C-alpha cells in the first residue's frame, strides 16, 4: 500500500513539474509573439494582417500590440531608489 501512495505522489510531482515547465515555455513564446507583432506594426503591417499570421482577430492583435507598447522598457527604465 505504501508503494502505491509513494508512486502516486511521485507521479503527481512529475506532472506538476512538467506543467510548470510548459507554462514557462508558453509565457516565453507569448512574449516572443507579442514582440514580433509589435515589430510588424512598426513596419506598418495592418492589425488584420498581423492577426491572420498570429491566429487571432485583428481586434485581438491590436489590443495585444497596445498592451506590449504600454509595457515599460526594462532596458531604459530607471528606478527612483
Per-residue pLDDT of the chain (81 residues), as tens digits, is 679 999 999 999 999 999 999 999 999 999 999 999 999 999 999 999 999 999 999 999 999 999 999 988 766 555 544
The DSSP H or E segment spanning 60 is: helix 58-70
Biggest distance spanned by C-alpha atoms of the chain: 64
Q: 79 lies in a domain?
A: no
- The domain in which residue 36 lies consists of 2-70
* Pair 38, 68: CB distance under 8 Å: yes
Q: 80 lies in a domain?
A: no
Number of domains observed in the structure of the chain: 1
Q: 75 lies in a domain?
A: no
Q: 27 lies in a domain?
A: yes
Q: 76 lies in a domain?
A: no
Closest CA to 12 of 25, 24, 20, 2: 20
Q: What is the pTM of this model?
A: 0.71
Alpha-carbon distance of 56 to 19, in angstroms, equals: 25
Q: 77 lies in a domain?
A: no
Q: 41 lies in a domain?
A: yes
Amino acid at each position: 500500500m505504501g508503494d502505491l501512495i509513494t508512486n502516486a505522489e511521485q507521479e503527481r510531482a512529475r506532472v506538476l513539474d512538467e506543467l510548470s515547465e510548459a507554462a514557462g515555455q508558453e509565457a516565453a513564446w507569448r512574449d516572443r509573439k507579442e514582440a514580433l507583432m509589435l515589430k510588424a506594426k512598426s513596419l506598418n503591417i495592418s492589425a488584420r494582417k498581423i492577426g491572420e499570421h498570429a491566429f487571432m482577430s485583428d481586434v485581438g492583435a491590436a489590443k495585444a500590440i497596445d498592451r506590449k507598447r504600454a509595457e515599460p522598457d526594462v532596458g531604459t527604465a530607471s528606478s527612483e531608489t
